[in-house]
Amino acid sequence: MTSLFRTGPLVALLAVAGCFGSGDRPQYIPPQPPGPAEVDLTQTFQRIDGFGASSAWTGGNITDAMADLFFTADTGIGLSLLRVQIKPTGNTLELATAQKAVARGAKVWASPWSPPGEWKDNGTATNGGQLLDEHRQDWANRLAAFATSMAAQGIPLVALSAQNEPNFVTNKWETCHYEPAPLVTFIRDFLGPALAASGQAVPVMAPETQGWDGFKRYADALMADTVATGMIGPVATHNYGGAIAFDYEPTKAAGKVLWETEVSDDMGNNNMVLDTTIESGVRVAKMIHDNMVKGGVSAFHYWWLMPGSGGGNGALSANGALLPRAWAMGNWSRFVRPGFVRIAVTPQPQDYVNVSAFKDPAGTRVVVVAVNTLSNERSQDFTIAGGTVGQLVPWTTADGKNLVAQSPVGVVDGAFTYKLPGKSVTSFVGDVTP
């Protein structure tokens, strides 16, 4: 071999550099210099409806102790939303869990995975297939009857999804395929009217696509039909597929809210080994941050409350305890309660640090959530404008810490500095004098 790697590192470096002309050399991009995370209490964005997860298949009747951990905001993580599954027969197997969630202040909504197989063109509830035209009214009536039944059992639904993941097909569980136009027709001409006829003031949720990449095609069709839009409550998508969340402006123009309604840390790969570390917690925290800040969502949902038999990272709990990713989610769900609004803050004041901020409807409480995705501690400056805050209590989720309150931090002349632990999520909670 030639002497490129024999003549010492300096000569080798010069030799490599000589391979580039002056205009071809790779540009050195320095790391982003740290800056303050500037909170502005006066600039507001979306209203927050809550944080939740699903009891489908695995959480039909959770224990009271687990219900406390999931749905209370004092000792638990304070989830305020529960998503239940509607079976093809028009019932749910999760009634007991739904009642426990409601008893602890959470709200419930529901999704169907498929109509009965005999009402579809493929004759089975699995492997996609489409709802037959002659059974659209039958299926709409069954869904409306489900809403009536749930209300009679003390669980008024805050939304009823038209279809879980209409753009995804598998033979492993119930699925049903809709193209955008038929989905709009089903909502406008069948499901919306059936709910109204039943006397249930339950808005329809749609399109609940598998990910942000397929969301716009379905949402555009819904927003283009003013009658269907009038029947829609939350406009929703899942977060699978790796596509980056984006702020979908038509929802604002139509006066609608945008919800993220399912994702898991394994991104749907149930063969992944269960991750019980803070690594998973930080990854989920970054998902929440991106959906809230980049997507402008009003609600964020993880996939399962309880684990399935296949393991993986699809649930917030394992072996009767909350996992770090659940406690990381709690950095939002415990403190950012329904009715809060997101406020302006520098979203990435330095590399590896992401910040979001919120205030209550009265403007008397502020919550600032900072995520440090780096293994090392990061010192971060914060400023607060638009109101006076005397001190903030940091609540930290990190390795060995599950939403642990730290010593209060004083805010002097609207500023403070805090050392964010490596791989951590910290919520700064304090009172505001307008």
Looking at the whole model, is its pTM more than 0.75? yes
50-338 folds as: TIM Barrel (3.20.20)
With bands split at pLDDT 50, 70 and 90, how would you rate the model's confidence at 243? Answer: confident
Cα–Cα nearest to 353, from 380, 333, 326? 380
What's the confidence (pLDDT) of residue 7? Answer: 36
For residue range 391-407, what is the model confidence (pLDDT) as tens digits?
999 999 999 999 999 99
Q: Is it the case that residue 12 has pLDDT exceeding 50? A: no
For 147, the token pair is 């809403």
Q: Is it the case that residue 270 has pLDDT exceeding 80? A: no
For residue range 68-103, what is the model confidence (pLDDT) as tens digits?
999 999 999 999 999 999 999 999 999 999 999 999
Q: Is it the case that residue 57 has pLDDT exceeding 70? A: yes
What residue ranges do the domains of the chain occupy? 37-42+343-431, 50-338
Q: By percentage, how much of the chain surpasses pLDDT 70?
A: 91
With bands split at pLDDT 50, 70 and 90, how would you rate the model's confidence at 29? Answer: low
Examine domains 37-42+343-431 and 50-338 and report if their fold is the same. Answer: no
Cα–Cα nearest to 367, from 413, 330, 336, 391? 336
The residues near 15 (Cβ < 8 Å, ≥ 6 apart) are 4, 7
Name the one residue in this structure whose structure tokens are 């309660």.
Answer: 337
CA distances from 50 to 46, 105, 108, 288 (A): 12, 11, 11, 12
With bands split at pLDDT 50, 70 and 90, how would you rate the model's confidence at 126? Answer: very high
What's the confidence (pLDDT) of residue 309? Answer: 83
For residue range 332-352, what is the model confidence (pLDDT) as tens digits?
999 999 999 999 999 999 999
Q: Is it the case that residue 163 has pLDDT exceeding 90? A: yes
Task: Determine the Cα–Cα distance for residues 202 and 294; give it in Å rounded to an integer.
Answer: 28
Which CATH superfamily does the domain covering 37-42+343-431 fall into?
Golgi alpha-mannosidase II (2.60.40.1180)
What's the confidence (pLDDT) of residue 311? Answer: 75
More confident residue, 22 or 377: 377
Q: What is the mean pLDDT of the segment spanning 153-170?
A: 98
What's the confidence (pLDDT) of residue 19? Answer: 39
What's the confidence (pLDDT) of residue 3? Answer: 33
